[in-house]
Amino acid sequence: MSTRRGLAIGCGGVLGFAWTAVALDAVESALDWDVRSADVLIGTSAGAEIVAALGSGRTPADLLAALDAEPDADPVLAAHIAVDPGKFPPLPGIGLPNLGLIGAGLRAGSAYSALAGMLPRGRGDASWLRSFGRALADADGWVDHPATWLVAADAATGERITFGANDFKADTPYRKDGRHGSAAMPAGPQASRGSVEHVLAADRTGRSAIEAGASPVEAAAREPVDLGDAIAASWAIPGWFPPVRIGGRDYVDGGAVSSVSADLLLPLDLDEVVVIAPMTSAGGVPATGFDRIERFLRAQMTRGLDREVKLLRDNGVRVIRVEPGPAELAAMGPNFMDSRRRPATLAAARANAHARVHEALRTASLAR
């Protein structure tokens, strides 16, 4: 019987995107596995960009060619990566805090989620993300892979929502010829057995996956959702980009609640989950100045992922958790949106990715 494997990619900005492309290439080599063949692809923020690209048929090698500005790089990827969203956000607008995120953070004991909810309304331009999604999308407005999930958070409630989840057919693994199972997945992924909040799933039309439960998201999510809007919603960093309105609800970066949301894969009865987490790490270089803010966020996100990984492992799922180490953190610096550091990030990632993946495989074996 083949291994049922999920791929979960976390948030990380433009530098996390670059590091992740290298990490995915190393994972493919170490496992002799095409990451596009994962039974489910789930991504948050920068991870949402990448799983959308993988779901459309692009490979880690394609991502790296575009990042390296090779002349024959995929034109959609090259055009997207050429856009610099800026090192810092524009001056914020006037708006009430995201009370839902504050509440979700307090319930979860997550200081960074609560603080994210207190940030003013961002005014960044997310059109580059929408353009990317629409360039990747097929005739149906999504991607070919039947289980490409993009995670955002409801700004009013703090609940996570996984756009695309109801398109998943759960009885057989996805194959590159496009064939997959015919039995529909049970009504949407539920966070359970240790996760913090009720989780909803939205299909491509924006309809909720859960018919009961009286959630405001369920009642409001009725308008069509295209891939560009879903990526923009997953990327809507509080204080940087404005919330994205879908189905009458405002959504923000899913990373404001969970950096990876690997726990949302628990109900799928997977054998293995590969986690690529650019915003979490064990250890790092000494922090000074602005670095301390980044390290605070990274420490919070690491603890959150620790809980998600434990939940999966406690339920018999093998987890391969790949994270950057001190050399990569030093190359990235404190600002994950500083595209000037992309070449250094790629170089550090390439120098260390295979070691990080092999260490992740060793840890996964010991944890069984």
Catalytic residues: 45, 253
Residue in 264, 269, 1 with CA at minimum distance from that of residue 149: 264
Handedness of CA 126, 129, 135, 137 (dihedral sign): negative
Q: With contact defined as beta carbons under 8 Å apart, do 259 and 192 qualify?
A: no
Cβ contact 304:349 at 8 Å: no
Closest CA to 251 of 298, 188, 202, 210: 202
DSSP string, 220-281: H--S---HHHHHHHHT--TTTS--EEETTEEEEEGGGT-SS-GGGGGGG--SEEEEE-TT--
How far from chain centre, in Å, is Cα 245? 19
Q: Show Cβ contacts of residue 274 under 8 Å, excluding neighbours closer than 6 positions.
A: 5, 6, 7, 8, 27, 31, 35, 38, 320, 322
Q: Maximum distance among all alpha carbons in the chain?
A: 55
Our CA dihedral for 328, 331, 337, 343, rounded to 10 degrees, sits at -100
Which residues in 271-305 are b (16+ Cβ under 10 Å) and which e? ebbbbbbbbbbeebeebeeebeebbebbbbbbebb
Question: Dihedral of CA 31/162/305/366: which sign?
Answer: negative
φ and ψ of 245, to 5 deg: -90, 120
| Strand pairing class (5-9; 272-276) | parallel
Give the CA radius of gyration of the chain.
19
